[in-house]
Chain A
Amino acid sequence: MQNSQFVQFASLVMLAIVPYILASQGTMLAGQTGLFIVSQEGVMLVGASVGFLGAFLSGSLLIGLLLAALSGAIAGLALAYFTTTLKLDQFVIGLAIFFLGLGLSNLFFKLVVGVTLQPPIIPTLKAVPIPLLSQIPILGPILFRQNLMVYFSILLSLFLIYFLYYTSWGLSLRAVGENPKAADSVGVPVARSRYITAIVAGMLMALAGAYLPMVYTGSYTDGIVNGRGWLAIALTFLGGWSPHLIFVGSLFFAGVEILALRAQVLGVGLPYQFLRMIPYLATIFVMLLTYKRLRTPAFLGLNYDRESRTSI
């Protein structure tokens, strides 16, 4: 039946959307204050490893998620310290944190689990149907019979739209990424804004990673993040650094991911590698079409020094 196939596909997309949303909205949020993060892949790996091990040792997925968020907060704090306080290059520090995360994620797992014949397993996130709403035909099963992290990412996106564009805090944050000197001159705390967004961004990225072992197989494997961190950067640019477009873009990226899996199972004749390539091709294609209209925060990737006399 057509209908049920669509519902099944769409609800799988909703499952796959979570890491894209969390990682990209985090990237976007830090970008609004001028911090350009490139360590997504590494922070997500650490989040996956820490989250999995926390859940495995404690028996509670929630504790796993909390620990993962903590690890992400540390990564964000480190990034903010090196770039905002020490004014080191954001790109270089971001790459350094990526490589550190790449190594640490495996190290943690080896230290705790070691080499085993049977890989450790944790329970997966359960669907929590929302009363009444989940009874709506078609929409109900797609949107309201999901796990808590799916709800969280949707609510997060809505919250960020409201926060950034409809509150004075959002206005201040965006001013920091657009012209930190102007923000500073009217008393908006530039450094504090950057620290906060860096820490929140790190937490969201780590949660994005921790979600991966918890949603499908319940097991942790090397390279479980599989490039989603890099895709998050592309997605953020594609979404023009705005939370609503990033949400739409996440739907697209998750859709392609599920299609690729489907195509592999059904054997449509297209090589799997080709399908995996689609999100990247789509990014380049959309960028080509829209690069003149897409905007990034004016101070993205640049550190701010009050004493500096250069003006923009």
Chain B
Amino acid sequence: MKQVSPPLLQLQGISKSFGPLLALKDVNLTIQHREIHGLLGGNGAGKTTLMNVLFGLYKPNAGQVILRGQTIHIQSPRDAIHHGIGMVHQHFLQVPHFTVVQNIVLGSRLHNRPTLNLTRATERIQDLCQRFGLEADPNAHIIDLPMGVRQRVEILKALYRGVDVLILDEPTTNLTPQEVDSLFESLQRMVAEGMSVVFITHKLREVMQVCDTISVLRAGEHQLTLPRTQVSEELIVRTMVGSDIDLDESILFAATAPQESSSSRTGPPVLDVQGLTLTAESNTPQVDDVSLQVHAGEIVGIAGVAGNGQQELLEAVLGIRTADRGQIRFQNEELGHCSTRDRLRRGIAYVPEDRVQDGILPTATIAQNSILGVHDRPPYSQHGILKWPIITQHAQHLIAEYHIQTQGAGQQAGNLSGGNLQRLILARALAQPIQLLILHNPTSGLDIPTVEQIYRQIRQRRQEGLAVLLVSDDLDELMLLSDRIAVLYRGALVGHLQQKDFDKYEIGRMMSGVYNHV
């Protein structure tokens, strides 16, 4: 007789509501010993909420956690760590000016509290680094480290505390493909040593690549749990999206490569940037001699690890920041010291990365937000007086056309969900006669149907001859939409690929600065 031992961890009947919103409905999940368990679902499916419950950050309304056959009560992250459960959050919780070892030992029980002799801790960390293939210099300061290493530090933090279950929340977001591979290798080593890993993601391919077991959540409900060998990509996709979108028409899950752009790229470019350089106070260039053209009817993608000058480049193009050197020409006219308002008037639209901070006025109504930027021009105002009937009509038109779910144009824009907010911002940009659309991470944090809808709109506008500059941290998104991809590394364009040459490893090398010719 084979002896049956209880599974490592069982979540039973977990429900959690935030006010009227039911985020988790009676979810059951079982984590076995020695497995990488992929927890898959679109945004808002409840993956992170479920794991936050397990880690003691949220208190569930109902349900229990069973560890090795025994019910445990987790009230705080401290309890979770005590029970051997560690979590790596999507946003790293680190002190930038501390060293790696200081960040790792912080809050842990040190035997030599009054002397803080970190030699032993450093040795232990170095040992962990080697065992799990997580390369990191213990004495480096966090602020000097690239995102990939910072994430390893976050994992080391959990390993240092001796966890048996490690939860990783969307760990691949800021990593290059090479870094993703090395992360997966480390996860496999952890499992080989007897740990279990819960891997939260919305990226199907990653799950298929590394996970032993796959669970899918949708709208707060557990859909399925199956070994990887028994599932197909199609089954998973259908389970993830339900009947919300038509898979055969889908851009996001398309099996075939995207069609070539119809752009002949003749004539002068819509946007022509030459030798743009922007220097920070500390004298290191934030944008370093960037030259770039975007023609009508094409989507140019900018890849790069977040923080390599993307924001600065866009803000220089928009005139929010003043470049030190270089030229920006729009439709054959030098923009020079043109104000941001003038640039927008000439036909540039901008969808910023931070929707709430930079995209809208949260306490203003949807109607007011829908005319932001053109509010002082006819037909929305005349002689400085706003024409409310026209504005409201305009807003209602946008709400209908872009399927913005709201009670009306008079609602506060700040109350919209992320997806609806992004629809509003995109609707506002596309409602005006524009020649250039600038997008920065247009789909981050959005649910699958919204992503689908936004992709569709971008594609359609490109067909109609709009020039699009798409800056994104999501390599899959760039490869799906772009006609060309340029790679930004430390403010400089280090590579340039045509659609037929797209290769995520090649781009990954450029993103980490390994590749160095244009």
Contact = CB atoms under 8 A, between A and B. Distances in A.
> Is chain B a partner of chain A in the same complex?
yes
Interface stretch (A142-150, A173-181, A195-203, A222-230): A173-181
Interface string A280-304: 0000000000001001001000000
Contact of A187 (B91, B97, B107): B107
A188 B107 contact: yes
Interface stretch (A49-57, A124-132, A163-171): A163-171
B78 interface: yes
B44 to A, nearest CB: 15
Nearest to A306: B57
B106 A171 contact: yes
B78 A171 contact: no
B106 A188 contact: yes
A179 B114 CA distance: 22
B192 interface: no
Contacts of A172: 106-107
Contact of A178 (B96, B105, B281): B96
A178 B97 contact: yes
B117 to A, nearest CB: 9
Interface in B307-323: none
Contact of A292 (B98, B108, B281): B281
> DSSP majority for the A interface?
helix
Nearest to A186: B107
B431 interface: no
A183 interface: yes
Contacts of B110: 168
B157 interface: yes
B443 interface: no
A116 interface: no
Nearest to A188: B107
A180 to B, nearest CB: 10
A60 to B, nearest CB: 34
A182 B113 contact: no
Contact of B108 (A169, A186, A311): A186
Most buried by B among A169, A181, A185, A292: A185
Contacts of A292: 281-282
Contact of A295 (B95, B97, B115, B157): B97
Given A182-B95, A185-B77, A187-B78, A175 B106 contact: yes
Contacts of B89: 185
Contacts of B140: none
Given A292-B281, A311-B91, A175 B98 contact: yes
A171 B102 contact: yes
B151 interface: no
Contacts of A295: 97
Interface in B79-127: 81, 89, 91, 93-98, 102-103, 105-108, 110, 112-116
Interface string B47-80: 0000000000000000000000000000011100
A186 B107 CA distance: 5
A169 B114 CA distance: 8
B116 A170 contact: yes
A175 B96 CA distance: 10
Contacts of A182: 93-95, 103, 106
B55 to A, nearest CB: 10
A34 to B, nearest CB: 12
Nearest to B57: A185
Contacts of A185: 77, 89, 93
A203 B277 CA distance: 52
29 contacts: A168-B110, A168-B112, A168-B113, A171-B105, A172-B106, A172-B107, A174-B95, A175-B106, A178-B96, A178-B97, A179-B94, A179-B95, A182-B93, A182-B94, A182-B103, A182-B106, A183-B95, A183-B106, A185-B89, A186-B106, A186-B108, A186-B157, A187-B76, A187-B77, A187-B78, A188-B107, A292-B282, A298-B97, A311-B91
Given A171-B106, A178-B96, A298-B97, 13 more contacts: A167-B113, A167-B114, A167-B115, A171-B98, A171-B102, A171-B116, A172-B106, A174-B98, A175-B98, A182-B95, A183-B95, A185-B77, A311-B91
Closest 8 CB pairs of A and B: A186-B107, A182-B93, A178-B95, A187-B78, A185-B93, A187-B107, A168-B113, A179-B95
